[in-house]
Structure 1
Amino acid sequence: MDRLERLGDLLFNVEIIVDTLPVLFTEGLLITLIISVGGMLIGLVAGTVLAMIGVSQRWWVRLPSRIFVDLFRGLPAILVIFLVGFGLPAAGFRPFGREVIAYATLALGIIATAYVTEILRAGIQSVDKGQMEAARSLGMSRLEALWLVVVPQGFRRVLPPLTNEFIALTKDSSLVFILGLTLGERDLFRIGQQTATQTGNMSGLIAAGLFYLAITIPLTRIVNYMDTRMREGRPVAAKELPTTAEVS
């Protein structure tokens, strides 16, 4: 019984959790969202471009997209973060000066780009070829037809996996702690980790986990809803159904 009590106090010390929550909310949540949303925006922009390159009819045009996707999907996220956060400055490339948050966002953006590219490529290729042919028959170039007709349709089809990618990216943002985030720029995990180190108690990490769940669980429900909606279509209310008299 004593062991269970010690375990409970180690993981669920109410006093430590309550003391940690304000810092997690005012600092950790903001930084985590900045890094995650920023990385996803980079992924969406760069991923759209690479996906369009990836569906080119010429193999030598597709090759750079394929190499990028294979490379950064194959590397562990923590290694990419380390290479961007420490490797670029060590090599003399300091586009963001000493702004660690910017390097962290860029690293997550590179990771997101690799996955978003593949998701969008699959979405683009799932669009019926007749859409491209119809757009070309109206005088559009292949690039115009791809950008204005095919990509928007493909994007709509891959909203659930894109949302899943944002969930994964939010969780991967916890790995940026290796860059040494300091006071004022700490993400949720970093705050929980430092609290655990200072108190010798894991309750700070549990509190951080609650914030991650507050982000990921609603997004998971949204993904499930979108997936069901796309598979089953919009339910038709009884009042929308035509009556026998209207049909006749």
Structure 2
Amino acid sequence: MDYLNNLASTFLDWKVIGEVLPSLFAVGLPNTLVLAVSSGIIGTALGMLLALMGISRNLVARWIARVYTDVFRGLPAILTILVISLGFGPGVRDLTGIASPYPMGVAALSLISAAYIGEIFRSGIQSVDKGQLEASRALGFGYGPAMRLIVVPQGVRRVLPALVNQFIALIKDSSLVFTLGLMASERELFQIGQDEASRSGNLSGYVAAGIFYLAMTIPLTHVVNLIDSRLRTGRAKNRGEKQEPDAAVAVVGKGAHS
């Protein structure tokens, strides 16, 4: 019984949680969202470029995309963040005068997510029946317009669940920028929880931060399920098939990486 009481007081000290909540709301949550959304947008743009390079007729472009993807998917995210931020950060700081490591954290997360998103887009585009491209060419479309207007939109629609899963992973990976020594106003959820744990000698700060992560990722997980269910239902209707009950159940947690 004493063990359970000690465990509860270590992880569920409501006084500590109440003290850290304002900082989590006012500083940690906005910074986590900025990191995830900004790197998600940049990573999506770079990922689409990588996907198009990966299916390009140009051998050099395909090799560049392949090497980039292999490198950034093969390295641990925290190692990539440290190498990019600590390696290139001083040079960027000298050129721009920006002392904060925050932009380099965004850049590192963007480059990492681009490798995964690029593979998601590439698989989606290549899953489109080649007859779509042939039919559009027969109607007078050039290769570029046919890909841009017909093939790519269909491929993107097919991988929407995987893209949302990747954004969930990006929210969690944003916690790794704490290694860069962010200023107090730049600290994300994990760093604030860690600071509170160090100050109070109690782990409830981590629990409070974890609750915020769950509040963001669990609804997004259900969004993945909903999108996947709608896509499956639409495909079954288009083929005139009767949808089996299990076909509407999406598998939760299969992101591009964890």
Pair in the same fold by TM > 0.5: yes
Whether 2:52 is the aligned partner of 1:49: answer: no
- Measure, in 1, the Cα distance between the counterparts of 2:177 and 2:89: 16
Structure 2 length-normalised TM: 0.87
Q: Equivalent residue for 1:99?
A: 100
- Measure, in 1, the Cα distance between the counterparts of 2:45 and 2:191: 28
How much has 1:235 moved relative to structure 2? 10
Residue correspondence of structure 1 range 81-230 to structure 2 within 5 A: 81-90=81-90, 92-94=91-93, 97-230=98-231
Quickly say closer, same or farther: Cα 1:15–1:235, change in 2 above 3 A.
Answer: farther
Q: Equivalent residue for 1:35?
A: 35
Which amino acid is 2:26 matched to? T
- Measure, in 1, the Cα distance between the counterparts of 2:42 and 2:99: 20
Please, which moves more after superposition, 134-143 or 39-48?
134-143
Instruction: Say how many residue pairs are matched.
Output: 235
CA contact (8 A) 2:89 2:104 kept: no
- Give me the CA root mean square deviation: 1.6
In structure 2, list runs of 5 or more residues that go unmatched: 238-258
In structure 1, list runs of 5 or more residues that go unmatched: 237-248
- Measure, in 1, the Cα distance between the counterparts of 2:29 and 2:236: 37
- Measure, in 1, the Cα distance between the counterparts of 2:76 and 2:152: 29
- Measure, in 1, the Cα distance between the counterparts of 2:34 and 2:210: 18
Which amino acid is 2:92 matched to? F
Please, which moves more after superposition, 2-11 or 133-142?
133-142
Residue 184 of structure 1 aligns to a residue whose secondary structure is: helix
Which amino acid is 1:82 matched to? L
Quickly say closer, same or farther: Cα 1:132–1:235, change in 2 above 3 A.
Answer: closer
How much has 1:8 moved relative to structure 2? 0.5
CA deviations on 1:165-216 (whole Å, 9 max, x unpaired) are 0000110111100001121110000000000001000000100000000000
Q: Equivalent residue for 1:64?
A: 64
Residue 99 of structure 2 aligns to a residue whose secondary structure is: coil
How much has 1:27 moved relative to structure 2? 0.4
Q: Equivalent residue for 1:245?
A: none
CA deviations on 1:68-124 (whole Å, 9 max, x unpaired) are 11110000000111011111024x233662232211111110011000000000000
- Measure, in 2, the Cα distance between the counterparts of 1:113 and 1:41: 10
Q: Equivalent residue for 2:8?
A: 8
- Measure, in 2, the Cα distance between the counterparts of 1:72 and 1:216: 24
- Measure, in 2, the Cα distance between the counterparts of 1:206 and 1:180: 22
- Measure, in 2, the Cα distance between the counterparts of 1:41 and 1:235: 31
* 4+ long deviations beyond 6 Å: none
Structure 1 length-normalised TM: 0.91
Residue 99 of structure 1 aligns to a residue whose secondary structure is: coil
Q: Equivalent residue for 2:256?
A: none
**How much identity, in percent, do the aligned residues show?**
50
Please, which moves more after superposition, 137-146 or 77-86?
137-146
- Measure, in 1, the Cα distance between the counterparts of 2:234 and 2:44: 26
- Measure, in 2, the Cα distance between the counterparts of 1:98 and 1:37: 22
Please, which moves more after superposition, 48-57 or 226-235?
226-235
How much has 1:234 moved relative to structure 2? 8.8
Residue 156 of structure 2 aligns to a residue whose secondary structure is: helix
- Measure, in 2, the Cα distance between the counterparts of 1:170 and 1:13: 26
Which amino acid is 1:21 matched to? L
How much has 1:153 moved relative to structure 2? 0.8
- Measure, in 2, the Cα distance between the counterparts of 1:45 and 1:70: 18
How much has 1:232 moved relative to structure 2? 2.2
How much has 1:131 moved relative to structure 2? 1.3
